[in-house]
């Protein structure tokens, strides 16, 4: 609104932002919120760094060789920054996330062309950092753990995430596993107030989300303050979310066996919209290794949790994380891991060779396992896990299941979605007409990483023919 004689306020100059994200879904969520924070400054998404005025590398310290990947990418971006400068353009380069938090000083020393270094708890300050970077001669570094809650400073208006949306409810970790940097890069456990989570969930649904996945480093350690002033556990939060009109599905990740309490397990029995697929990292099947990892639970406790979950929800499928070659792991310890995998069965799992993380207790521990032995163990474990995944996918053939359609498939006339067990499902159909709907699909074929089928007869699919879907890369 303007008064006579006043010129209208000009909108921010159009700029382009490219964010490259490594790591977990929490980093994906963080990247989306960084884009939201910068949108009022005029930044719109860019398809590639070459078309951007600002590039953010949102890093993860969990994966192997995280720092090497970062500096390799920074080397390529240095040349792009030079090219833009030669034509009078400016490229603002930022490094965010856990590697930034852990290695901020090294980043600016090895890559002085970086303009901004920020940790996971400070991205709400990005507009201020961009302004400071435009004036500063050196890099702007923000890697403190601020007293204020970053979520209180994020804009309520956010770009739609699509049919499936991610919502961070808990951050940080108090567990201090011997191999993990998260307590040092994300800080102590913190849970968002339940009212703030529910408000954001309603906004996501209003923007088109039909499935929400709650995120946290230890999401089932959630203990946010409820509107009644008492701490709510994750089970209570899920029950409240289940009442949001328009929301069809709920998931949560990543869980810790120590925090899987009876109330949360009961929620799996009570809430049909809580999907029957749970990521529950165990890391090893050896009590000796679990103790060395400082996991705080043994194999028997993990088994009891699994038994309770499957009693509550008999169709529940589990995924997990495994680390092979943790310092001191023997052949017998690894055999115990293989035995646990055969016993529990995991239709999906993530498995890694142990690699030292600077500053963690395991990095300097004696009895490091030779690389060749770690390689051999990882190959054996992954072969077993692939066999279990293939068997689980085959067991779905002939089943009619509800599939949430999230978009088009790879081919014309094809729709794609997710099964209750998180498998990609491809089927003939009008993706635009089916988008955001849960539809019954009869599964006709299983592939290594996906399923394909037909709309059930009740949805008009009795005359359609399935297209053979190649296995995703």
CA angle (307, 276, 423) in 5-degree steps: 125
- Long-range contacts of the stretch 132-138 (C-beta < 8 A, 24+): 133/92, 134/92, 138/108, 138/112
**Pairing of β 317-324 and β 277-279:** parallel
Residue 150 tokens, joined: 């970053």
Taking the alpha carbons at both ends of the chain, their separation in whole angstroms is: 53
CA distances from 29 to 24, 50, 120, 213 (A): 9, 24, 11, 11
Distance separating alpha carbons of residues 23 and 97, to the nearest angstrom: 10
Query: DSSP letter at 469?
Result: P
Determine the pLDDT at residue 24: 77
Rounded to the nearest angstrom, the gap between the alpha carbon of residue 350 and the centroid of all alpha carbons in its chain is 13
Distance separating alpha carbons of residues 262 and 242, to the nearest angstrom: 18
Determine the pLDDT at residue 169: 95
| pLDDT tens track for 96-122 | 988 888 888 889 889 999 999 988 878
**Pairing of β 317-324 and β 348-353:** parallel
Judge contact between 152 and 197, C-beta under 8 A.
no
Angle, in degrees to the nearest 10, between helices 234-241 and 194-206:
30
Judge contact between 54 and 17, C-beta under 8 A.
yes
Domain 150-394 has CATH 3.40.50.300: no
* Domains in the chain: boundaries: 15-142, 150-394, 400-459
Determine the pLDDT at residue 468: 38
* Feature table: binding site for [4Fe-4S] cluster: 24, 60, 98, 173, 177, 180
Rounded to the nearest angstrom, the gap between the alpha carbon of residue 42 and the centroid of all alpha carbons in its chain is 27
- The DSSP H or E segment spanning 427 is strand 424-428
Judge contact between 142 and 195, C-beta under 8 A.
no
Judge contact between 346 and 320, C-beta under 8 A.
yes
Distance separating alpha carbons of residues 59 and 67, to the nearest angstrom: 9
Handedness of CA 35, 39, 45, 50 (dihedral sign): negative
**Pairing of β 438-446 and β 400-408:** antiparallel
Residue by residue, DSSP assigns 317-372 as: EEEEEEEE--TT--HHHHHHHHHHHHHH--SEEEEEE----TTSGGGG-SSPPPHH
Q: Selecting from 3.40.50.1380, 1.10.390.10, 2.40.50.140, 2.40.30.10, what CATH number does the domain 400-459 have? A: 2.40.50.140
Judge contact between 72 and 90, C-beta under 8 A.
no
| Strand order from edge to edge, sheet including 211-215 | 164-168, 211-215, 249-253
Task: Report helix, strand or coil for 25.
Answer: helix
- Long-range contacts of the stretch 428-433 (C-beta < 8 A, 24+): 428/454, 428/455, 428/461, 428/464, 428/465, 428/466, 428/467, 429/405, 429/455, 429/461, 429/464, 431/405, 431/407, 432/408
Residue 328 tokens, joined: 């001191």
* Feature table: binding site: 24, 60, 98, 173, 177, 180
Q: How many CB atoms within 10 Å of residue 359? A: 12
**Pairing of β 211-215 and β 116-118:** unpaired
Q: Which residues of the chain have pLDDT under 70?
A: 1-13, 62-65, 136-137, 145-159, 458-473
Determine the pLDDT at residue 223: 96
Distance separating alpha carbons of residues 345 and 103, to the nearest angstrom: 38
CATH H-level, domain 15-142: superfamily: Methylthiotransferase, N-terminal domain (3.40.50.12160)
Distance separating alpha carbons of residues 345 and 450, to the nearest angstrom: 18
This prediction's pTM: 0.78
């Amino acid at each position: 609104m303007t008064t006579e004689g006043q010129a209208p306020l000009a909108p921010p100059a159009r700029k382009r932002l490219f964010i490259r994200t490594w790591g977990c879904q929490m980093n994906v969520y963080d990247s989306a919120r960084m884009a939201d924070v910068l949108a009022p400054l005029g930044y719109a998404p860019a398809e590639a760094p070459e078309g951007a005025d600002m590039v953010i590398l949102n890093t993860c310290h969990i994966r192997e060789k995280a720092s090497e990947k970062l500096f390799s990418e920074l080397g390529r971006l240095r040349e792009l920054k030079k090219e833009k400068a030669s034509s009078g353009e400016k490229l603002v380069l930022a490094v965010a996330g856990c590697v930034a938090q852990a290695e901020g000083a090294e980043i600016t020393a090895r890559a002085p062309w970086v303009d901004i270094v920020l940790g996971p708890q400070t991205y709400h300050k990005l507009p201020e950092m961009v302004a400071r970077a435009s004036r500063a001669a050196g890099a702007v570094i923000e890697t403190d753990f601020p007293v204020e809650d970053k979520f209180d400073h994020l804009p309520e208006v956010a770009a739609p995430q699509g049919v499936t949306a991610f919502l961070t409810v808990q951050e940080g970790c108090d567990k201090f596993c011997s191999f993990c940097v998260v307590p040092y890069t994300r800080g102590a456990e913190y849970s968002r107030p339940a009212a703030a989570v529910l408000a954001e969930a309603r906004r996501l649904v209003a923007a088109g989300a039909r499935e929400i996945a709650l995120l946290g480093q230890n999401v089932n350690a959630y203990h946010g303050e409820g509107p009644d002033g008492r701490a709510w556990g994750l089970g209570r939060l899920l029950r409240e979310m289940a009442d949001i009109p328009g929301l069809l599905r709920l998931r949560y990740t990543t869980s810790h066996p120590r925090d899987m309490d009876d109330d949360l397990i009961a929620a799996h029995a009570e809430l049909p919209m809580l999907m029957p697929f749970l990521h529950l990292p165990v890391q090893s099947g050896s009590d000796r290794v679990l103790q060395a990892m400082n996991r705080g639970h043994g194999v028997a406790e993990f088994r009891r949790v699994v038994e309770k979950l499957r009693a509550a929800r008999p169709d529940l499928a589990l995924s997990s994380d495994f680390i092979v070659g943790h310092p001191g792991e023997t052949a017998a310890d690894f055999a115990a891991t293989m035995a646990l995998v055969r016993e529990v069965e995991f239709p999906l799992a993530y498995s890694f060779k142990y690699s030292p993380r600077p500053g963690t207790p395991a990095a300097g521990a004696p009895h490091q396992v030779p690389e060749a032995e770690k390689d051999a163990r990882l190959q054996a474990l992954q072969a077993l896990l692939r066999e279990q995944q293939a068997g689980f996918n085959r067991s779905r053939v002939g089943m009619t299941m509800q599939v949430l359609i999230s978009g088009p498939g790879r081919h014309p006339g094809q729709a794609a979605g997710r099964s209750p067990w998180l498998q990609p499902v491809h089927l003939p159909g009008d993706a635009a007409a089916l988008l955001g709907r849960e539809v019954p699909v009869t599964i006709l074929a299983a592939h290594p990483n996906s399923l394909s089928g037909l709309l059930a007869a009740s949805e008009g699919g009795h005359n359609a023919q399935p297209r053979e879907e190649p296995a995703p890369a």
